[in-house]
Amino acid sequence: DTAVSQTPKYLVTQMGNDKSIKCEQNLGHDTMYWYKQDSKKFLKIMFSYNNKELIINETVPNRFSPKSPDKAHLNLHINSLELGDSAVYFCASSQRGARGEKLFFGSGTQLSVL
């Protein structure tokens, strides 16, 4: 069974559209994250939730809104998509925060905004 699963794997859409990416982890972890990886492979944290509570918001445009209905799920909704949003988005989880904990990553969602 996949530990961290995210859907869809590929997302191709027009500028201005609204889209969502879903993430679920079955590891019983308390903390979940969204990371963005650009075309140069640079991986940047966007959000972190701990037990459904937002603990990190890294100056991400408010067009990006994470939602955590329970601690096993962290979805990412993006409004008014822009060309610069094209990237691979990774969901990840860890037992309790990131201090001394390893992260488990999903396989990524490649978002292409046309």
Partner 1 sequence: SQQGEEDPQALSIQEGENATMNCSYKTSINNLQWYRQNSGRGLVHLILIRSNEREKHSGRLRVTLDTSKKSSSLLITASRAADTASYFCATDRSGATNKLIFGTGTLLAVQP
39 binds partner 1 (CB under 8 A): no
Instruction: Decide if 62 contacts 78 (C-beta within 8 A).
Output: no
Amino acid at 51: N
As a whole number of Å, the end-to-end CA separation of the chain is 34
Smallest distance, partner 1 to C-beta of residue 92, A: 8
Distances (CA, A) of 73 to 14, 94, 103: 26, 13, 15
Instruction: Decide if 15 contacts 83 (C-beta within 8 A).
Output: yes
- From the list 19-27, 65-73, 79-87, 91-99, the region that binds partner 1 by CB under 8 A is 91-99
Smallest distance, partner 1 to C-beta of residue 99, A: 5
Rounded Cα gap, residues 10 and 5, in angstroms: 13
Nearest residue (CB) to partner 1, 15 versus 55: 55
Residues 40-59 that bind partner 1 (CB under 8 A): 40-45, 48, 55-56, 58
Among 76, 87, 106, 111, binds partner 1 (CB under 8 A): 106
Interface residues toward partner 1, by CB under 8 A: 4, 33, 35, 40-45, 48, 55-56, 58, 90, 92, 97-100, 102-108
